[in-house]
Structure 1
Amino acid sequence: MAASTAACGAGAGTADLPATMSGIIKQAKSEGEVDWSAPKPQSQMQPAIDLFEKKYPGIKVKYTNTKPPDQVSRLKMEQAARKVSIDVANAGGLTVPPAVKLARNVDWPKYGVDKKYIFEKSFVYIWAVPKVWVYNTDKVKPADVPRSWDDLLDSKWSGGQISAESRASFLAVWDLDPSMGDEKALAWAKKFATQKPHYSPNLTQTEAPIESGQVSIGTTLINLALDAKAKGAPVDIAPVSPTTANEAYLYVPKGAPHPAAAALLTSFLSSDDAQSVLAKTYNSRIPAATDCSNPGDNAVLQSMCKTNLKWFPTANLDDYKSFSTFFPEAEKALGTDVG
């Protein structure tokens, strides 16, 4: 049955999964492979992939680095055509609300996933990549490092000396923190826009100008900054607070051709062993809200706590839905709205 449903593609996604971990392993091995799609370089995921394939020989992981919006569009078309090709998908930020309709329900606790890491029943919290402000240590003196959002409005950063993401997701914490709020966020964004910042299409592309010294300071993802710093780049994290945990989730799409292998891989990536490996590439979980009681050897958490950052969770689906109205307004305030 496992072999026949796997061959059917969409049919496999509607089949019941085994009720036990031993059953899911047996079926996963009969499926033989699992197709995982996420917005990360494969080099960062490979250590976890290698560990999974070593633990479960006979199950091959096929990984694809895919931008979240592209993944959502692809899954919508594939599910409509009943020819799904992705077994494990990624959701975060604005792709969470549409992914709710794309994801199949999985009884994750049966497969060893801690309930506290399950979001909206279908999603499993696997890693966080907090948005942070980073400065070039060769260009910014210690006394000039910004320590608050208002410090970023100082005229010394005008004329392209600061970079930011044009899509405005770096402002998410203003929408989440009750003491900040949308109205204050838009007022801040309008002032920020007058400095003529260097805008990049997304947060992964804001990192390079900071490293090269094209700009003095910019907003990016903490994993990119820590990786660059470890390789000798002149960058460090500014204590501009608060920010967001920026959680990312994995889920099994409806119609996944290898559902048991998908559930097994997702469960594995949530385990302590996999999290320890992912932490080495700065891609593991951190507490969703500020908690520095036990940073352990998690470099992301250590860095945030050392920098005295406060961060907020995206606690529920309504928080994610609110981004869809907040971000477009923030883009208009930044002057980056392209419709």
Structure 2
Amino acid sequence: MKGRIFTAAVVAATLAAVTASVPARAADAPTIEELVEGAKKEGRLVVLLLQPTQQHNREIVMEAFKSRFGLDIDIEWSPMHPTTLMSRLNAESPSGRFSADIGQGSVDDLWPSVEKGYVARMDWPATFGSMLESIDQAAGGVPPEMSGTVLSMFDLVYGLVWNTDFVEEADLPRSFADLADESWNQRIALNSYHIAPVDYLSYEIGAEPTIDLVGKLLDNNPVLKAGSGAVGAAVSAGEAAVGTGMAYATDLAIDRGEPVRFRPFTDYTPVLGMKVFVPAYAPNPNAARLFAAWFTTEGMALVGESEHLGQLGNPNSVVGRELSRQIEEAGSKVVSVSSIAQFGELAETRKVIDKMIADR
């Protein structure tokens, strides 16, 4: 009897935990009309997104959003790097308050905050499916444990960046492993944050081969810069001939007339899905949910091409289709996260890499 009572209690507790961890049922999802009325009462929205990077594109997005839902609210747009944002989210949220409404990050960066309940959950398709036809796609593509917490914004595609004034395309390294060749000694720039995106190769080849490759790259005396954006800037400025960088950032640099180019490596192409999220303690949750759903569907379509942002799996993404073509042409394998378990493995790999950097 005691065994059955204990088992029933365990089952009940398990069901309660599962219920708390999944998005609300469709019947409990707020309507768009309810969110609009709530947003009007809030009167404000604080956005911390890095993209769009160009101010005039942000203004296009803000005005289009307000027009779409008939809102006359104040929008404060204060771009914040996801790494800084994650620290702020984890520092403020334990108090039950947060100072902004919309943020962005990759799933591996966001997962610890999702686990702690610092990211709001919602059944996005239940509320927005009748208005925003691509909301299902925006809400998908994440490990099931993160369902209902984030929406897809764009794919961060990594590859080789080079300075056309310093090296001919025919002489470039073709694979990640080629960067370890001694001919590139003191000629490469790498990200000092875990040597990203090389760390993401652990998703595909495992920790030990990734750590071994990082060791060989560090033996080549690279210029280390704080962030992939800084790596691209270093290559553009001539501090290094080549580096690992981001497709969209390189295209923006080309728009500015800088002597840089991008292409995928022939072995692997790390792809980091950049996500939009609403903090659990957002001060303006109604406006935040409206903006998150609209921006990741209709809003990005307004500025994605001029910002060189796209999604590889989205047939309507001009930039995504072009990047997919380049990756296929290079014969490269896309590397991205597929399970929550990989986050822990990545964290352990990064600890080793960070120690290697510190010990240089």
Which TM-score band (shorter chain)?
A: 0.7 to 0.9
Moved more, 253-262 or 64-73: 64-73
| TM-score normalized with structure 2 length | 0.79
**2:30 alignment counterpart:** 19
8 Å contact kept, 1:245–1:286: no
Pairing partner for 2:67 from 45, 49, 54:
54
**2:335 alignment counterpart:** 312
Cα distance in structure 1, aligned partners of 2:264 and 2:86:
34
Structure 1 vs Structure 2 CA RMSD: 2.5
Are residue 231 (structure 1) and residue 256 (structure 2) matched?
yes
Q: Rg bigger for which structure?
A: 2
Offset at residue 195 of structure 1 (A): 0.9
8 Å contact kept, 1:96–1:320: no
Are residue 35 (structure 1) and residue 46 (structure 2) matched?
yes
Higher-RCO chain (CA-CA 8 Å, sequence separation at least 6): 1
Offset at residue 202 of structure 1 (A): 1.2
Are residue 86 (structure 1) and residue 100 (structure 2) matched?
yes
Pairing partner for 1:279 from 292, 299, 305:
305
8 Å contact kept, 1:103–1:251: yes
**2:85 alignment counterpart:** 71
Are residue 217 (structure 1) and residue 242 (structure 2) matched?
yes
**1:114 alignment counterpart:** 136
8 Å contact kept, 2:61–2:302: no
Structure 1: unaligned runs, 5 residues or longer: 1-15
**1:143 alignment counterpart:** 170
Offset at residue 317 of structure 1 (A): 2.6
CA displacement, residues 253-286 of structure 1 (integer Å, 9 cap, x when unaligned): 1121111100000000121453342332123433
Moved more, 73-82 or 216-225: 73-82
Against the structure 1 CA distance between its residues 211 and 93, is the aligned structure 2 distance closer, same or farther, given a 3 Å change threshold? farther
Cα distance in structure 2, aligned partners of 1:64 and 1:26:
25
Which amino acid letter does the alignment assign opposite residue 214 of structure 2? A
Which amino acid letter does the alignment assign opposite residue 177 of structure 2? D
8 Å contact kept, 1:84–1:257: yes
Pairing partner for 1:153 from 176, 180, 189:
180
CA displacement, residues 156-192 of structure 1 (integer Å, 9 cap, x when unaligned): 211x210000122211332111xx2211111111111
| TM-score normalized with structure 1 length | 0.83
Which amino acid letter does the alignment assign opposite residue 344 of structure 2? K
Which amino acid letter does the alignment assign opposite residue 306 of structure 1? Q
Offset at residue 321 of structure 1 (A): 3.1
Which amino acid letter does the alignment assign opposite residue 73 of structure 1? S
Are residue 245 (structure 1) and residue 279 (structure 2) matched?
no
Identity, % of aligned positions: 21
CA displacement, residues 84-124 of structure 1 (integer Å, 9 cap, x when unaligned): 22111222254212220211211111223215634312111
**2:109 alignment counterpart:** 95
**2:212 alignment counterpart:** 187
- In the TM superposition, structure 1's runs of 4+ consecutive aligned residues that sit over 6 Å from their partners are none
8 Å contact kept, 2:65–2:299: no
Which amino acid letter does the alignment assign opposite residue 58 of structure 1? D
Count of matched residue pairs: 313
